[in-house]
């Protein structure tokens, strides 16, 4: 999963760079905007959910919320 995310990230960065290349050097603003827009959409709707799923896999959400048990643990440790 890590290599899929890394490969997708590199492809998105290259696509954004290609889009700016078309905008600046080729003076084809429409094509550059389309390439940049598609790569931003891919990063938001494909890359980010894959990354979030990969990072949260196997973790309990209850460890990161303020429940009465967690507040009691913080009081016992002197953090609250």
SS3 55: helix
CB burial readout 31-53, b (16+ within 10 A) else e = ebeebbeebeeebeeebeeebee
Residue 65 burial by Cβ neighbours in a 10 Å radius (0-12, 13-18, 19+): exposed
Instruction: Give residue 80's pLDDT.
Output: 62
Q: What confidence tens digit (pLDDT) does each residue in 53-67 have?
A: 999 888 888 877 888
Q: What is the pLDDT of residue 19?
A: 97
Q: Is the pLDDT of residue 78 over 80?
A: no
At 43, list the tokens.
């990063």
**What is the Cβ-side half-sphere exposure of residue 60, based on CA atoms within 13 angstroms?**
3
**Domains of the chain: which residue ranges?**
2-77
- Percentage of the chain exceeding pLDDT 70: 98
- Per-residue confidence (pLDDT) for residue 16, from 0 to 100: 97
Model confidence at 41: pLDDT above 80: yes
């Amino acid at each position: 999963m890590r290599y899929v995310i890394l490969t997708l990230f590199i492809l998105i960065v290259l696509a954004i760079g290609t889009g700016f290349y078309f905008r600046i050097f080729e003076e084809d603003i429409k094509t550059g905007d389309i390439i940049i827009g598609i790569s931003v959409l891919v990063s938001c709707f494909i890359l980010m959910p894959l990354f979030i799923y990969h990072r949260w896999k196997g973790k309990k959400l209850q460890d990161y919320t303020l429940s009465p048990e967690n507040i009691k643990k913080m009081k016992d440790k002197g953090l609250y």
